[in-house]
């Protein structure tokens, strides 16, 4: 019997049953339908939409990407067409090629902006949960500041939770002394789940001019080099909170997915690897049953948090 027919890769997140735990991370997969030119995106467990703000944003000036060993630095700056355009245009385009529910990623510069944006996307039938981007290191004001202050993060989470019906996931920054502090704050604010980690803060300098390569000087460092940091964060947060965790950070292969789930992740997002290889998520999904067979795993849902009982 083929391996694929006897290995159960399904997981459940907030009542939404997914064929597999693999989700392209926000900002690395556009609005999803663009990748359908490369392969049938309906195989994906879900899709985290590009970060969305209340009004359209052009993003940061060029250059806003710099290569690094084992990864990259980006400072895109949440370029997007605005919440209503995402709901009324982008989600409709995606729906033509992707029949499953997706995750809406919300950013902002004030409580009011977060709440209003979340409410707009909360009204979309295609969305099953709202991810609050409170940890973006390349947008001035809002975002990152909210994610670094536990008290403000708790208040922001509560403000959004009070106004939306769908589950709220808070995306945590690794750029703190102890990520479990902000994790607990988000949980106290009513978060239904957490996603982590967002990018680390990084910089590259031009050897000829000695100036920062990125126009806004610093950006978010991501890629395979951050995987051990991300895995440690997921492991620690799993021991600190009781809500589901979506793990991410340097995930590039099926083995990384298994490690993240061992550490406590219920689902796993793939980010920078999509920019390196547009077939990354497809390859990971196809490899998962083979890795499960090698490791003696019959159901992925059985291994969530296994490292804490090993």
Residue pLDDT, tens place only, 172-204: 999 999 999 999 999 999 999 999 999 999 999
Beta bridge partners of 243: none
What is residue 89's DSSP assignment? I
What confidence score (pLDDT) does residue 145 get? 67
In the chain, the percentage of residues whose pLDDT exceeds 90 is 85
pLDDT tier, 304 (very low <50, low <70, confident <90, very high otherwise)? very high
Beta bridge partners of 196: 247
Averaged pLDDT for residues 254-283 = 97
**Residue 136 is a catalytic residue:** yes
pLDDT tier, 60 (very low <50, low <70, confident <90, very high otherwise)? confident
* C-alpha 8, offset from chain centre: 23
> Would you say residue 137 has pLDDT above 80?
no
Catalytic annotation, pick one of 68, 129, 136, 281: 136
Q: How many CB atoms lie within 10 A of CB 112?
A: 11
pLDDT tier, 144 (very low <50, low <70, confident <90, very high otherwise)? low
Strands 71-74 and 65-68: antiparallel
CB 130 within 8 A of CB 121: yes
> Would you say residue 287 has pLDDT above 60?
yes
What is the rounded distance in angstroms from the CA atom of residue 15 to the CA atom of residue 9? 16
Q: Which residue has the higher pLDDT, 210 or 62?
A: 210
pLDDT tier, 37 (very low <50, low <70, confident <90, very high otherwise)? very high
pLDDT tier, 139 (very low <50, low <70, confident <90, very high otherwise)? very low
Strands 193-196 and 267-270: unpaired
> Would you say residue 206 has pLDDT above 90?
yes
Q: Which domains does the chain have, with CATH numbers?
A: 3-60+77-200+222-308 (3.20.20.70)
Mean residue pLDDT of the chain comes to: 93
């Amino acid at each position: 019997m083929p391996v694929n027919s006897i290995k159960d890769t399904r997981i459940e997140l907030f009542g939404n049953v997914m064929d597999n735990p693999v989700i392209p991370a926000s900002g690395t997969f556009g609005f999803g339908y663009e990748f359908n030119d490369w392969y049938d995106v309906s195989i994906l467990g879900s899709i985290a939409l590009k970060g969305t703000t209340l009004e359209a944003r052009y993003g940061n000036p060029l250059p806003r990407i710099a290569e690094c060993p084992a990864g990259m630095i980006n400072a895109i700056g949440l370029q997007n067409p605005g919440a209503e355009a995402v709901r009324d245009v982008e989600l409709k385009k995606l729906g033509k090629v992707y029949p499953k529910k997706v995750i809406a990623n919300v950013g902002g510069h004030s409580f009011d902006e977060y709440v209003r944006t979340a409410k707009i996307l909360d009204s979309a039938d295609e969305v099953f949960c709202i991810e609050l981007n409170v940890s973006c290191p390349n947008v001035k004001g809002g975002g990152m500041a909210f994610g670094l202050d536990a008290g403000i993060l708790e208040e922001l989470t509560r403000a959004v939770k009070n106004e939306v019906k769908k589950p709220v996931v808070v995306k945590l920054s690794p750029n703190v002394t102890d990520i479990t502090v902000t994790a607990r704050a988000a949980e106290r604010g009513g978060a239904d789940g957490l996603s982590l980690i967002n990018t680390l803060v990084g910089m590259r300098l031009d050897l000829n001019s000695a100036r920062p390569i990125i126009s806004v000087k610093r950006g978010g460092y991501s890629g395979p080099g951050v995987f051990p940091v991300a895995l440690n964060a997921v492991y620690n947060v799993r021991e600190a909170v009781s809500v589901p965790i979506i793990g991410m950070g340097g995930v590039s292969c099926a083995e990384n997915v298994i490690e993240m789930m061992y550490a406590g992740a219920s689902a796993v997002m793939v980010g920078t690897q999509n920019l390196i290889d547009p077939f990354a998520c497809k390859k990971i999904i196809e490899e998962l049953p083979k890795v499960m067979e090698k490791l003696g795993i019959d159901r992925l849902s059985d291994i969530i948090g296994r490292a804490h009982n090993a």
